[in-house]
Amino acid sequence: MANSEKDAGEMVCPACGSREIVFDEERGEYVCEKCGLVNEEPVIDPGPEWRHFNSDQRQRRSRTGEPAKVRLPDKGLSTIIDRELRDSSGRKNPHMQRLRTWDNRIKASSSRERNFQQAFQELEVLASKLQLPEPAKERAAAIYRKAYEKGIVRGRGIESVLGAAVFAACKETRHPRTAREIAEALNMPDENEILRAYRVLQRKLGLNQRPTEPSDHLPRFASKLNVSEDVEAKAQEIIEKAKEKGITVGKGPAGIAAAALYIACILEGERRTQREIAEVAKVTEVTIRNRYKEICEALGIDLHP
DNA sequence: CTTTAGACGAAGTATTA
DNA sequence: TAATAATTCGTCTAAAG
């Protein structure tokens, strides 16, 4: 630990166990190439495989002292107090009913805790990979809790419900992420599982979900493209005008934001290629072309004077 | 060689009967 | 539930820079 080597070979990602960890000079952070985990501290051979990501969480989590490795209920030892209400001597014991109740309560609450612990560990990794802002993370945790209490997690798997909770939370806090991005970050093959769980959340939890606006995407896209404030403001202006013209209804918000950004870049003389923008917006160049043609037409903008 | 423009069919979605 | 209309995407061709 005394050795503050930035040699990636020595380090193991606490989340996925990969050794492909690089030091990001710009941010001063360690980043796992495999799962994208960002960690400010040097991570050198953590030994145990359970996870913590900063001192705050280590403190919060070490409370139980229970390695995540042991996932069997009651550490594999399960005590059953049967319905006959006999005690260990085989006699009927009127107190056994109460014991049984408590036994069940304790088991239920501890399995709930285990579920949350695992879910929130995964949430940390996910939030790190997706660069989620703190409010979105908090909201996702809250939604997941509610979902668990409603019994939505059973039979659906932690990952799909967690993914759906993150998806919903991002939407709500106006930092939208696609279901695909989330699925990818979770190493899930198909995003539909997340979307299915998301629909269930919507129905059973009554989430106040507004449709995603194109401008919700602007800050993230703009920062990834390293464009100036002026360009971002210009893009915002373009989006508003386009909305007034009514050409945005029924179109994908990301495509509109991407096109507005593309136009704004050219107008402000900070040119980016369609390819670059398509990359960060997760849409194709074709979509950008269609949208930006429509917008130019509707707003009377001529990019080739 | 890279970027942009446009056409086509495939796939998934929303709307309507 | 089935048919339909609109949207997005991937691929391909071609022109422009």
Residues 233-252 of A with CB under 7 A from strand C: 250-252
Write down the pLDDT at residue A304: 64
- Which nucleotide lies nearest residue A255, CA to C1'? C8
Q: How far is the CA of A66 from the C1' of C4 (A)?
A: 57
SS (H, E, C) A65-132: CCCCCCCCHHHHCCCCCCCCCECCCCCECCCHHHHHHHHHHHHHHHHHHHHHHHHHHHHHHHHHHHCC
CATH topology match: A8-61 vs A214-299: no
Spatial distance from the CA of A18 to the C1' of C13 (Å): 44
In strand B, the nucleotides that come within 7 Å of a protein beta carbon are: 2-8, 13
Cα separation, A22 vs A24, whole angstroms: 6
Q: What CATH number does the domain located at A115-205 have?
A: 1.10.472.10
- Give the helix, strand, coil percentages of chain A, each rounded to 5: 55, 5, 40
Instruction: Give the dihedral of Cα atoms A253, A224, A261, A182; nearest 10 deg.
Output: -10
The reply to whether the CB atom of residue A98 sits less than 7 A from any atom in nucleic acid chain B is: no
Domain boundaries, chain A: 8-61, 115-205, 214-299
Sequence-distant (6+) residues with CB within 8 A of A90 are none
Give backbone dihedrals phi and psi of A244, rounded to 5 degrees, phi first. -60, -40
Q: Are A183 and A193 in contact, with CB atoms under 8 Å apart?
A: yes
Spans of chain A below 50 pLDDT: 1-9, 24-28, 35, 40-78
Q: Which nucleotide has the shortest C1'-to-CA distance from A254? A: C8
pLDDT attached to residue A257? 93
- Residue among A259, A253, A251, A294 at smallest CA distance from A278: A259
Adjacency order of strands within the sheet including A29-32: A21-24, A29-32, A38-39
| CB A145, CB A116: distance < 8 Å | yes
What predicted TM-score, i.e. pTM, was given to this entire model? 0.69
Q: CA A178, CA A175: separation in Å to the nearest integer? A: 10
Q: What integer pLDDT is reported at residue A11 of this predicted model?
A: 61
The CATH number of the domain covering residues in A214-299: 1.10.472.10
Instruction: Answer whether CATH 1.20.120 is correct for domain A8-61.
Output: no
Please tell me the distance from the alpha carbon of residue A244 to that of residue A279, in angstroms, as a whole number: 27
SS (H, E, C) A248-292: CCCCCHHHHHHHHHHHHHHHCCCCCCHHHHHHHHCCCHHHHHHHH
Q: Is the CB of A142 under 7 A from strand C?
A: no
C-beta atoms surrounding A285 within 10 Å = 16
What one-letter code names the amino acid at A153? V
Count the neighbouring beta carbons within 10 Å of the beta carbon of residue A196.
15
| Burial class of A185 by CB neighbour count within 10 A (0 to 12, 13 to 18, 19+) | buried
Query: Do residues A125 and A158 lie in contact, with contact meaning Cβ atoms separated by under 8 Å?
Result: no
